[in-house]
A and B are shown apart, each in its own frame.
Chain A
Amino acid sequence: MAKVNTGRNILIVDDESESAILRAVRRRLEEEGWRTVVVEPEPGYSVGEEFEAAALWSIEQDLPDAVLLDVRFGEHRDDQFRGLGILGEIVERWPKLPILMFTQYAQGPDRETAVRGSLQWDSPVDFIDKLASPDEVVLRLRRLIGTSPESIPIGNNILLDVNARLVYIGAGEDRTAALDIQGMKFEIFRELATSWYRSPGELVAFSRLERYSEGEDPRASLRVRIREIKDAIGKAMNTRFGPSELILNVRDQGYRLVPPK
């Protein structure tokens, strides 16, 4: 899979960064193209205090694109909610830095709810529980960081290049541009891909797509363009996409991208 976030850093602040669950998350983040930096303080008197100091120092030194921050550091009573204290310090000093809190359960203790309530509603802070799949973690981070990627890989064989305004088919050196997908057709495909990249199940309503169609019957015009996009990609991949493949019409409400298997 093509990496789309090269050069972006995610700082991981967790006393169990070598646990299997964290390793799986880190592997998935690296697949995404992010570089993971793990805070590893020298062992000291208090696990929580050491991590707090090391995390703040690390952010100061090398401002990351986002922080993945644990709530609980060790078993000591004072460190049960240490991460919330660290969160407070970070928000105060770097209010725009996206932070994903790694909790036991997202709908967990009242103190987390209280912290959520004490933040500005648009603070780039979110909570996710540690059992969340690595894919979920990636989706949350994408939204927290908020910037649109320069390219979006759709499955293994389709790559949308936002800057070049081209859709590439194939993998590696065999990759070629599908030149039939340009102009309005590219915009339609970009809308669908961007929405899918942000949240795989999100439908793009007709009202949003019809601005890229024209004529007396924009819905019919849109239908034709969608068919042309599917045919162009199918031709380049030596296949033909059926009604429920690649771009799906959902109960006459809009369209949704379904990456080919």
Chain B
Amino acid sequence: MNRLLTSFKIGGGVIALGGVVSLVLAPLIGEKVFDFLWVLEPLTYIGGALIVAGLGVAVASYAVAERQNRSIQGLNGQYAGNSWSETTLQYFQPFDHDLGRPLRRIAGKERELRAVMRAAPGVADPGVIDLLDEIERQTPNFRLMMSNIQVLIQLESPDKDEPLQPVEPTEVVRRIADLYTAVAVEAGKEITWWSEPAELGLVYANSNAIEHIVTNLVDNAVRYAGTHVEVKLTKNPSHFFVRVWDDGPGIAQQYLQHLFDRGWTPEVVQREEKSSSGLGLFIARSLARRMGGDLTVESDNSADGDHHTAFMLSLPSNLTAPLNGLR
């Protein structure tokens, strides 16, 4: 088949070249050869037609060859050329690094300044400390946004599931709590986390994806909480669960169905400036479902003291995979 297509490509090219030659020679030799003026026009027409036909054959051959090439590589699960998402990711990674550089400088200087002020207490204006706190508070936000973009690009790549690895969900939640505890304290809030049982053990999962989902949930909870955020880990024989609860004002029932829509934030309803991209929950649920789990929400926005929002992430523990030799 390939050899036939190559012949077509060459044949088409030769025909088109013949057309060009005919066109060029028509005014020079047409009159001499046929000795009649009227012959000139037919030769020109023939040349033009040959060019069109030749180029048509060549282009069609290339198109067929390209399509065949893609279908063969697609069956193998790999494309010789990069998919859109892979190319975007490749461009994003150096960009990611470069974008982080000025922020690392800003955060570094802010932390140095804070250390200097700590060494001389009472000298600094409280307003300056508030400004430094604001820079520090925005840092996790920036980290999450960059991470969201990266995961969003990866989600567009359907063939690119990361292999399952042994993961301690307790350790993942501990890291996220560590990251957000300082942010919460500065905002006058607090995070408490625990697991039941205390030693939850290992599961087989994608560590990055769990960390990403729970980070989005905790980031949201800290933003909307009144004073408390709780993260609780539990498990049953087939799944493990992460429940992220906050004592914020709650979400009205009519908005709950839109919560996981791409780009939706509460400000959309109030026609205010968005405080977040509205991608976090969309990405979190997409990732959870891709791993065979789910992300659900339950909320109470009543005016009494029970108002709250709770997200429940459930993911398969995959504990049978190693036994079946699927690792």
Binding site for B on A (CB under 8 A): 19-24, 27, 72, 104-109, 113, 116-117, 121, 129-136, 139-140, 143, 198-205, 207-208, 248, 250-251, 253-254, 256, 258
The CA of A143 and the CA of B190, in the complex, are separated in Å by 22
Q: In the complex, are the beta carbons of B108 and A201 less than 8 A apart? A: no
The CA of A258 and the CA of B181, in the complex, are separated in Å by 12
Q: In the complex, are the beta carbons of A107 and B108 less than 8 A apart? A: no
> 1/0 per residue B69-97: CB within 8 Å of A?
00000000000000000000000010011
Q: How many residues of B contact A (CB 8 A)?
A: 46
Q: In the complex, are the beta carbons of B108 and A20 less than 8 A apart? A: yes
Q: In the complex, are the beta carbons of A131 and B202 less than 8 A apart? A: no
Given contacts A20-B112, A27-B115, 8 further A-B contacts (CB under 8 A): A105-B100, A133-B179, A135-B178, A135-B182, A200-B177, A202-B192, A250-B192, A251-B230
Main secondary structure of the interface of A (DSSP, over half): mixed
Binding site for A on B (CB under 8 A): 93, 96-97, 100, 103-105, 107-109, 111-112, 115, 136, 139, 142-143, 146-147, 150-151, 162-163, 165-166, 174-175, 177-179, 181-182, 190-194, 196, 198, 202, 207-208, 211-212, 230, 232
Q: In the complex, are the beta carbons of A24 and B162 less than 8 A apart? A: no
A70, chain B: closest CB distance, angstroms: 12
> A106 to chain B: which residues have CB within 8 Å?
211
Known contacts A107-B147, A201-B181, A205-B196: A21-B191 contact under CB 8 Å: no
Can you identify 11 A-B contacts, CB atoms within 8 angstroms?
A20-B107, A20-B112, A23-B108, A24-B115, A107-B147, A113-B162, A130-B104, A133-B136, A135-B182, A136-B179, A140-B175
The CA of A105 and the CA of B190, in the complex, are separated in Å by 25
> A27 to chain B: which residues have CB within 8 Å?
115
Cβ-defined partner of A203 (8 Å) among B97, B178, B194: B194
The CA of A95 and the CA of B104, in the complex, are separated in Å by 31
Q: In the complex, are the beta carbons of B115 and A21 less than 8 A apart? A: no
Q: In the complex, are the beta carbons of A121 and B178 less than 8 A apart? A: no
Q: In the complex, are the beta carbons of B112 and A23 less than 8 A apart? A: yes
Known contacts A72-B97, A129-B143, A251-B230: A256-B105 contact under CB 8 Å: no
> B112 to chain A: which residues have CB within 8 Å?
20, 23-24
The CA of A72 and the CA of B100, in the complex, are separated in Å by 13
Q: In the complex, are the beta carbons of B97 and A202 less than 8 A apart? A: no
Across chains A and B, which 4 residue pairs bring their CB atoms closest together, nearest first? A20-B108, A21-B108, A24-B111, A203-B194
> A140 to chain B: which residues have CB within 8 Å?
175, 178
A194, chain B: closest CB distance, angstroms: 13
Cβ-defined partner of B100 (8 Å) among A23, A130, A134, A143: A130
> A108 to chain B: which residues have CB within 8 Å?
93, 96, 150
B172, chain A: closest CB distance, angstroms: 11
A226, chain B: closest CB distance, angstroms: 16
Which of A23, A107, A116, A198 has most chain B Cβ within 10 Å?
A107
Q: In the complex, are the beta carbons of A105 and B162 less than 8 A apart? A: no
> A201 to chain B: which residues have CB within 8 Å?
177-178, 181, 190-193
The CA of A203 and the CA of B195, in the complex, are separated in Å by 9
The CA of A104 and the CA of B143, in the complex, are separated in Å by 10
Q: In the complex, are the beta carbons of B143 and A254 less than 8 A apart? A: no
> A132 to chain B: which residues have CB within 8 Å?
179
> B193 to chain A: which residues have CB within 8 Å?
199, 201-203
Q: In the complex, are the beta carbons of A199 and B143 less than 8 A apart? A: no
A154, chain B: closest CB distance, angstroms: 15
The CA of A256 and the CA of B174, in the complex, are separated in Å by 14
> B93 to chain A: which residues have CB within 8 Å?
108-109
> A21 to chain B: which residues have CB within 8 Å?
104-105, 107-108, 111
The CA of A253 and the CA of B230, in the complex, are separated in Å by 11
